[in-house]
Structure 1
Amino acid sequence: MNERQGRPADAGRAVGRRAGTRRPEAATPAAAAFAPRAATMRDVAGRAGVSVSTVSRVVNANGYVKTGTRVLVEKAITELGFVPSGAARGLVARRTGLLGLCLPDMGPAEARYEPWPLRTPVELVEDAGHPPGGAFWGSRYFGEILRGAEYAAWEAGHALAVAVARPPQAEARVRDLAGRVDGLAVVAGSLPDSLLEHVAHRVPVVLVAGRRPADGYDHVGVDNSEGIRVLVEHLVGAHGLRDIRFVAGRPGTRDDIDRFQGFCSASRALGLPVPAEPFLRGDFTRDAGRRLAERVVAGHRSGRAALPDALVCTNDETALGFLDVLGAEGVRVPGDIAVTGFDGIDGARTSSPRLTTVEQPVADLGRLAVGVLRACLADPRLPRQDLVVPSRALVRESCGTH
């Protein structure tokens, strides 16, 4: 039995299944006469003058082959145009060579992709401001995770399949992906617990960000709570700010929960009021940050609510949305209000003013997740891994530091 998950050791590996196929249409004699026959491993062996098992060792990089013999086999492969059957190799090795990455759907439930309504190859239009949106494909955070995972997979000789858990077919698509890959990296908040548990009984699963290994999964992430604590201490200690509010993301998201807990812990330690709930709540997107900023500005101008000293946003996309609106509405950042984020995406470095944030090496999260999956495949009996990636607080102009 697999000591890590209480199942047979091979249960965590994708096993090839013979799919039902349709009988091909009968070829005409003329077509059959001219149809090229695909080269086989036996053909390569005959051309190179070696055994089929030697060709197999070269093709699968499995076992020792003399350099001269390898050169002969590779030359025969090139001359014959031999292409190994991935399906056949997967059945033999009980591997597909494919790793999976599951990302959450970060767009609003009503969001749909709309093609550009342009009717000419190049149309000159006046930019009236930021377009509505905020759907998943605009998120730099998940793009960086994907970039790190893809590069690590490529470096190790694997391909990477990506699925976005977008309703209403999310569960069916993720189950299908789990049946095709050797292991699956799941970004926190992508899947419900029941589906995550089901998938983990089929292939090794590593969680990226979010939950910790107490939930029974390998995990790579950062210390969210500590990062927020450092930001709050800086706002109070370096700038003397006291009325500091937390702007949250989607409810129930593990990263968001940890960051809010870090905010409350820091507030308590510094003698600030400890809120029972976040000041405002968005959905991690820049568009949601803009909408929340419009509410803050409207309340301030009507006299219903004074501006707080600072806003600690749960992520950079939300904070950048605030900067978009506050600057356009004449609210000075940081003169009237300080703003901070979390993640360290490129937009935080180039915003005006530049955004104070906690930078985490996001691409490394994807890279390390692939590394954990490969380790699990190499030895299913390994103990659970919890890799905490170092982060750093980048102090910039948006909090008042010059």
Structure 2
Amino acid sequence: MSKAATVYDVAAHAGVSIATVSRVLRSPDAVRPATRERVLDAVTALGYVPSGSARGLAERRTGVLGLYFPGFDAAEDAPALDVLSSAGAAAPPFTVVEDEGEPGAPATSMLFLDEVLRGAELEAWKQGFVLMVGVGRDDPDRSTVRDMAGRVDGLMVLASSVPDDVLARLARRIPVVVLSGPPRGDDYDHVTVSNAEAMGELTRHVLAQVGEGAVAFLAGPADSPDAEQRREGVVAAVAASGRATEELRLLRGDFTRASGRRAAEELLRDGAPPSAVIAANDQMALGVVDVLHRAGVRVPDDVLVTGFDGIDAAALSVPPLTTIRQPMIELGRAAVQVLARRLEEPEAPPAVVRLPLQILLRESSARPA
């Protein structure tokens, strides 16, 4: 390998100062076009790659933001894969199997987090940062997030994914932004949505459709702040309607489609299904629809079904699923923007950014006349 080009090499090749090279790489719009093109041509010709570690030493910044997700899937459940030892072995280029048409039932639902990640990556790139993603699988002492904190300028975490005491220690070292869940009077910046209010409005719509019919609510995990806010919204709307909240059938899932199927099977085992099933996310709602279809129960003629999140699969289901669309990509982008501002204004008061939701009324909640 040849010796790596330095910023001094680029400056000499372009006939500019190293300060100009730095401005072109960090704020290209601040440099005259002719000079910018000359520097970028030199960067390309020399194959120059800026040294993040050197820049970090000079600026006491790494140029990296961290995004930490809880570990929903267990790594030990993943099938063995050894591509290196079989790289030279003869293997068929494809196989043909009979597809039985059963919808996939992954152990976890990452669709919401996938979209948040997309938004965070996009905004980090626009802001000139690199995004580091950490997943805390089987990480009781939170070593993953603590290790991340030593490598990034700031950290974004999903609400309740890090214990309060651990998060407080991390926040003494770097800025922290909490995604989703309600602000709790802490000193962190928050990016969130109005879970309870939107779910309450959707519940009122469902109650108006079913009249005196029975309603079941498929809640998410009890340790999820978002899930609990949605449960609170449903319960409050039921109580405000004059019904006894004890009449609301409560089941719990883990935000996966498989758990939605299990809940629907439980409802059918207990007798006639309710008039409506309100689910705390789309994946569970789609699992409910899977089982109802197989049992010959018509949606929405026999049972109304609604979800939350607004994933693409909800619009493509049969029938299309009524849901509450979260601004998932915007949540990721907003978290990066808030974190970037915090790095520039460390003494500013904590910010709470609340993004709007959309209630999408579709066929799955429309009771035929």
**TM-score bracket relative to the smaller structure:** 0.7 to 0.9
CA drift at 1:400: 2.5
CA contact (8 A) 2:292 2:298 kept: yes
- Cα distance in 1 for residues equivalent to 2:136 and 2:92: 35
Which stretch shows the higher mean deviation, 92-101 or 212-221?
212-221
Q: Separation in 1 of the partners of 2:63 and 2:354? A: 27
CA distance in 2, matches of 1:333, 1:176: 48
After superposition, residues 251-262 of structure 1 pair within 5 angstroms as: 251-262=222-233
What is the identity, as a one-letter code, of the residue corresponding to 2:157? V
Q: 1:183-239, CA deviations, whole angstroms, 9 ceiling, x for partnerless residues? A: 111122322222222222222111111131523321111111111111111112244
Structure 2 CA distance for aligned equivalents of residues 66 and 145 of structure 1? 36
Q: Relative to structure 1, is the Cα distance of residues 277 and 179 closer, same or farther in structure 2, using a 3 angstrom cutoff? A: farther
Alpha-carbon spacing, 1:275–1:85, altered in 2? closer, same or farther (3 Å):
same
Give the drift of 1:111. 6.6
Specify the code of the residue in structure 1 equivalent to 2:346. Answer: P
1:389 equivalent to 2:355? Answer yes
Is residue 2:327 matched to residue 1:361?
yes
| Aligned counterparts of 1:385 and 1:52: Cα–Cα separation in 2 | 37
For residues 170 and 212 of structure 2, what CA distance do their matches in structure 1 show?
47
Counterparts of 1:116 and 1:240, CA distance in 2? 53
Report the equivalent of 1:124. Answer: 96
Q: Does 1:246 align with 2:217?
A: yes
Cα pair distance change 1:362/1:241, threshold 3 Å: farther
1:171 maps onto 2:104 in alignment? no
Partner of 2:79: 114
Question: Conserved in 1, the CA contact under 8 Å of 2:28 and 2:36?
Answer: no
Contact 1:284 1:315 in 2 (8 A): yes
Whichever residue aligns with residue 113 of structure 1, its letter is A
Per-residue CA deviations over 1:40-59 (Å, capped at 9, x if unaligned) read 33334444444444444444
CA contact (8 A) 1:314 1:342 kept: yes
Aligned equivalent of 1:229, options 185, 194, 200: 200
Instruction: Name stretches of at least 5 consecutive residues in structure 1 with no aligned partner.
Output: 1-34, 301-305
Determine the structure 1 residue equivalent to 2:166.
195
Equivalent position amino acid for 1:381 in 2: E
Structure 2: distance between partners of 1:36 and 1:60: 26
Identity between Structure 1 and Structure 2 (%): 45
Change in Cα spacing, 1:216 to 1:129, as seen in structure 2 (3 Å) is farther
TM-score computed with the length of structure 2 as normaliser:
0.88
Q: Following superposition of structure 1 onto structure 2, how do residues 320-399 of structure 1 map, counting pairs within 5 Å?
A: 320-399=286-365
CA distance in 2, matches of 1:89, 1:316: 44
Which letter does structure 2 place at the counterpart of 1:232? T
- Please identify, of 81-90 and 226-235, the stretch whose mean Cα deviation from structure 2 is larger: 81-90
Q: Distance in 2 between matches of 1:362 and 1:77?
A: 36
Question: For residues 309-320 of structure 1, what are the structure 2 equivalents within 5 Å?
Answer: 309-320=275-286
Task: Give structure 2 stretches of 5+ with no counterpart.
Answer: 83-90
Give, in angstroms, the shift of residue 367 of structure 1: 0.9
- Normalized against structure 1, the TM-score is what? 0.81
